[in-house]
Amino acid sequence: MTQPVRRRAPSAPGVPALAVLSYHLAAYRRTWRAGVFSSFLLPVLTVLGFGVSVGGYVDQGVDGVRYLDWIVPGLIASSALQVAVSESTWPVFSNFQWVKTYLAQSAAPLRVGDLLTGHLAFVLFRVLTSMAAFLLVTALFGAVRSPWAVATLPVVVLLGLAVAAPTFAYAATVSSDSWLAMLLRFAVIPMTLFAGVFFPVESLPLALRWLAYLTPLWHGVDLCRAATLGVAPQWSTVGHLLYLAAWAVAGWLLARRAFRRRLVV
């Protein structure tokens, strides 16, 4: 049984977190080629499948907007959520349970905040690069109607942090990877289906509508849709950003607490 490391004083994330980020980037250098093709193929398939094929049956679009143009920002936000979750579930669980990377790193002059922040920074790097490719492909399809579309990139980074941070906390506390699959089934999939990605939230019953408003994804979708269409969001921009930031901060604090329980005595 692995012996826990001795207790260290908590620290705010700082420069040592860059060393953790460098570790994850160095590991990614060996695998990035496998993901480049899918980074461009996935948006092509989703645009063709949902935007062109399904959109062909939506004669008048949504709110006077062509369905392809309306759905693309939702797909960008939901894809950012899925990348953030996939990079924050099994990789985090594995670093504790299987390969025990966190245990090895905690034996170095690194603190819990460094391990957590460095790995989260890598997840945000993956979200940013993947969604930049998605945005480029959809722009080539003519589905971007405003130069403000570039604002989707910082939005998806914030959305990714709002999702990844609490997912880190969850993955650090579960005892089996079966719980990670349950997160996908009972949180990610329903959120993707009912948070305004494929149809307006206003068409839902009132109770489900408010559940959609509580999810971080709806706020990301509304901001991305406003940016790509060049219109005002349905809700306050500042309100959206503060809500996502609250998820991110609360998630980081919970994740740090969970990491400390696993790594520090």
Task: For residue 10, tell me if it sits in a domain.
Answer: no
Q: How confident is the model at residue 12 (pLDDT cuts 50, 70, 90)?
A: very low
Task: For residue 69, tell me if it sits in a domain.
Answer: yes
The Cα 126–Cα 69 span in angstroms is 24
Tokens describing residue 60: 């008048």
Tokens describing residue 245: 């930031």
Task: For residue 11, tell me if it sits in a domain.
Answer: no
Task: For residue 1, tell me if it sits in a domain.
Answer: no
Residue 67's identity, in one-letter code, is: Y
Question: Which residue segment(s) compose the domain that 111 sits in?
Answer: 16-263
pLDDT tens by residue, 138-164 = 888 888 889 999 999 999 999 999 999
Q: What is the pTM of this model?
A: 0.88
pLDDT tens by residue, 99-135 = 999 999 888 888 899 999 999 999 999 999 999 999 9
Task: For residue 5, tell me if it sits in a domain.
Answer: no
Task: For residue 6, tell me if it sits in a domain.
Answer: no
Residue/partner pairs of 229-238 with CB below 8 Å, 24 or more apart: 229/65, 229/69, 229/70, 229/73, 229/145, 229/146, 230/145, 230/146, 230/147, 230/148
Task: For residue 30, tell me if it sits in a domain.
Answer: yes
In the chain, the number of structural domains is 1
Q: What is the mean pLDDT of residues 208-230?
A: 95
Taking CA atoms, 210 is separated from 124, 195, 198, 202, 217, in Å, by 28, 10, 17, 10, 13
